[in-house]
Amino acid sequence: MRASILSAFVALLLISPTSQAGNLPNATFWVGYNEAWVRDDYGVWLSANPSFGLPSKFPTDRVFLNGYLSGMAAGKARIVSIWLFPALQGILRGGDGTLTTGLSPDFLPNLTEVLSSARRLGLKVYVTALNGNDLKLFKGTLFEPYAANLLSNATARQYFKLNALLPLLKVLNSNKDVIYGFDLINEIEAVLAASYVDAAGARAWIREMASYVTVNSPWAAVTASSGYYPVTAILGGLYTGLGLNFYDAHIYSDVPAFSLGQRSMCQKAAADGVQLVLGEFGQSSKTVNDWLQYYVTSQFLTLARASCIHAALAWKYESTTTPWFAYVWPNGAFRPAYNYIKTNF
């Protein structure tokens, strides 16, 4: 999900499902929801945010999240997607502020609690580490040196791996039964747009991080999701040969008549020996319209299920700032699109 929702390449001609590839657990089509952050608590929903000096909202948000997870499970969802480090949530920085020195003390215990809650409800958790859009927004701010070094400085990358990724992976290793996949960075095209690195630099970063995850968590299904121009990026080979287990495309459209994009992406994924998932989908217009959301949801899921796509995750289970995306209202009432998923999956 980008900071502002952009229309993306959509539309996909149907082709037969491909065989299971990579480490993903689902041989059949699964549906899920994105709950990247809880309520409007971006950057503090899971733990404290030392970079911004903000306390965690998790003591309150755990109550809401448990209710949301219960609603997802009751509505036949199989996967929930969460973001771990939005706006550097949980990350400790040291020295001149460019090095990752650890994680906030509450981060891993709170994450473990979330994983346990999902397990009790039979949900798999799709975790995303960094958000490329955050790094883009850091451009020109006091956080730009951290972002720039994280992407292009070997020492900064090593600090991030040892002090953030490694302790995180140890927790995931103890909870691998509930983990669906690991997204290294949401929409890395954002850092290309911000000119932190070029395509070769982005590929080198993904390759290095994917290798580190695979060495320390060989069971994990690893990806780097694509959202600005997913069809072009995937077909153009931005993610090819980097040690990923699946490709993740984010697509928004009011008319999700899957066109040549899907056929081509399916063929590319098959040629590269990986799966393809629709990690985010939703309407492109900012209109609260039950009929439109129902139509978009039903079309995306019908077409995805009939293709090579192994999973599709709706954006976003709940949202007050962007209510057109929400599948449940703040008062707990479900929208018709939620009931479509519950009835058909």
Give 281's strand partners.
Answer: 251, 314
Single pTM value for the model: 0.93
Interval 152-158 mean pLDDT: 97
* Strand 91-94 relative to strand 99-103, pairing: antiparallel
Report pLDDT digits (tens) over 242-256.
Answer: 999 999 999 999 987
In a domain, 113, yes or no: yes
| Mean pLDDT for the chain overall | 92
Interval 57-70 mean pLDDT: 97
Question: What confidence tier does 21 reach under pLDDT thresholds 50, 70, 90?
Answer: very low
> What pLDDT, on the 0 to 100 scale, is given for residue 1?
53
Interval 25-39 mean pLDDT: 93
Does 127 score more than 80 pLDDT? yes
**Length of the chain counted residue by residue:** 345
CB environment 300-316: b (16+ within 10 A), e (fewer): bbebbbbbbbbbbbbbb
Whose CA is closest to 263, among 229, 234, 222? 234
Q: What residue numbers bound the domain in which 68 lies?
A: 30-344
- Percent of the chain exceeding pLDDT 70 equals 92
Task: Calculate the alpha carbon distances from 325 to 224, 316, 337, 341 in Å.
Answer: 23, 6, 10, 15
- Percent of the chain exceeding pLDDT 90 equals 88
In a domain, 205, yes or no: yes
> What pLDDT, on the 0 to 100 scale, is given for residue 260?
47
Task: Calculate the alpha carbon distances from 250 to 56, 196, 242, 286 in Å.
Answer: 29, 22, 19, 17
> What pLDDT, on the 0 to 100 scale, is given for residue 19?
33
In a domain, 11, yes or no: no
Q: CB of 47 within 8 A of CB of 106?
A: yes
Q: CB of 231 within 8 A of CB of 249?
A: yes
Interval 172-196 mean pLDDT: 97
In a domain, 96, yes or no: yes
List the CATH number of the domain containing 49.
3.20.20.80
**Least confident segment among 14-23, 91-100, 178-187, 268-277:** 14-23
Does 5 score more than 80 pLDDT? no
> What pLDDT, on the 0 to 100 scale, is given for residue 17?
34
Give how many domains the chain has, as a whole number. 1
Token pair of 327 as six digits: 């599948």
Interval 150-169 mean pLDDT: 98
> What pLDDT, on the 0 to 100 scale, is given for residue 15?
29
In a domain, 190, yes or no: yes
In a domain, 158, yes or no: yes
Interval 95-105 mean pLDDT: 96
- Top pLDDT among 331 and 8 is at 331
Does 34 score more than 50 pLDDT? yes
In a domain, 22, yes or no: no
